[in-house]
Amino acid sequence: MKTLPRISQFIKILMLSVCLQYTLQAQTNKRANTATKQLYRNLWKHQGAAPLFGHQDALAYGINPDLSRWILDDNTSDIKKITGQHPAVAGWDLGQIELDSANNLDQVPFASMQRLIVEHYRRGGVNTISWHSHNPVSPIKTTWDHQDSTIRKILNDKVVLARYNGWLDKVARFLKSLKDPSTGQLIPIIFRPYHEHTGNWFWWGAGHCTAREYKQLWRHTVKYLNQKHKLNNLLWVYSTDKFTSKEHYMERYPGNDIIDLMGFDIYHRGAPKSNQTYVGETKNMVAWLTELAKTNKKLTAITETGLDQVSMPTWWTDILSPIISQSSLSYVLVWRNGNKGHFFGPYPGHASADNFKTMVTTGGVLLETETQKLNLYQKH
Ligand code: BMA
């Protein structure tokens, strides 16, 4: 019977390749808690279906039909007012938590942010957090007050390093406060520090540090939060601004061992003149990202996008949909509805509201109800 050993060898090889596939797709923090592991696995399973739709600060504030602002109305979001459902992904920012401020840089109280993140998770939604941190060399300077060598100083100057680590302690304290009330486990967070670094506007931008320094800052940060603080609820996103090639995207990539998702931010400016260029360039970036993510076994997302004031009523189906349809993006997030002069999502009465609904009803993106059906935090 020569066939039997062959069959068992075949089964062994099959099992090994299944395991290998699985290991390569495992998230980077091996000690991640159950909900975080499930979120990661379920995002993989969902890959190729419509991306989840995200909105920054969606649950904290928005714009009324008379163009005044609403702030912290219970269980409200502009997207819900239009569609009956919250966005699937809620974006948040920790900027100014490092200063012990009660509110973040866009006036969202951290106490409310904590409550809203828990509520969004309990409804089955996903939370992602960025950090527009002040400059740790000189804390009165904002995230946009760049100066050369900030990262070099964090890495080499003991005083600056101690201050920076102190800031990470404050970030960790907030992240540790995000608990599932029924299990006591920490709530999964897609964490996105040091974003848009291919640009020069933040102190961690490409013009103010070497690639090596940028990567070192990332590696220090991941180690500090995952290991020293034992945070087991973070999926880490590397998110550039515009990039012009796969090599450009990877230039400052801090390592497959610490990154779970690959993303990028890109804004549509100068519509309608720039429509074709924006769609073309963004499609190129999505294609490059998809190839890179396939090689590196990572999930993908458009981590920030939008057209300020959504000045094109059909922006959702004519511009965004062609970019994201047939992609393997896990989510696409538009920036905040700050005020009547600065917003990226529709609000009730806005000229693009119906078109947004069309994008949703035709299955272009998923909002909360469809996301709940995915049961992202459960094993299934
Ligand atoms: C920018 C603008 C600013 C805001 C910052 C951080 O794009 O929306 O008003 O302070 O993001 O959220």
* pLDDT tens digits along 270-325: 999 999 999 999 999 999 999 999 999 999 999 999 999 999 999 999 999 999 99
- Is residue 8 scored above 90 in pLDDT? no
Confidence of residue 15 (pLDDT cuts 50, 70, 90): low
- The tokens of 321 are what? 């949909």
pTM for the whole structure: 0.94
Confidence of residue 11 (pLDDT cuts 50, 70, 90): low
Distance CA 38, CA 379 (A): 6
- Is residue 93 scored above 70 in pLDDT? yes
Q: What is the pLDDT of residue 185?
A: 97
Residue list, ligand 1 pocket, CB within 6 Å? 93, 105-106, 132, 335-336, 338
* pLDDT tens digits along 120-164: 999 999 999 999 999 999 999 999 998 779 999 999 999 999 999
- Is residue 339 scored above 80 in pLDDT? yes
Average pLDDT over residues 73-92: 97
What spacing in Å lies between the alpha carbon of 338 and ligand 1's midpoint? 8
Q: What is the pLDDT of residue 19?
A: 45
Atom of ligand 1 at shortest range from CA of 56:
12
Residue 48, SS3? coil
Q: What is the pLDDT of residue 349?
A: 98
* pLDDT tens digits along 183-218: 999 999 999 999 999 999 999 999 999 999 999 999
Of 161, 138, 149, residue with least CA distance to 221: 161
What spacing in Å lies between the alpha carbon of 263 and ligand 1's midpoint? 19
Q: If you take atom 10 of ligand 1, which residue's CA is the nearest one? A: 106
- Is residue 341 scored above 50 in pLDDT? yes
Polymer length of the chain: 380
179 Cβ contact list (under 8 Å, min separation 6): 118, 185, 186, 187
Q: What is the pLDDT of residue 20?
A: 44
CA of 52: how far to CAs of 99, 101, 104, 180, 332, in Å? 33, 31, 25, 22, 6
Mean pLDDT, rounded, of the chain? 94
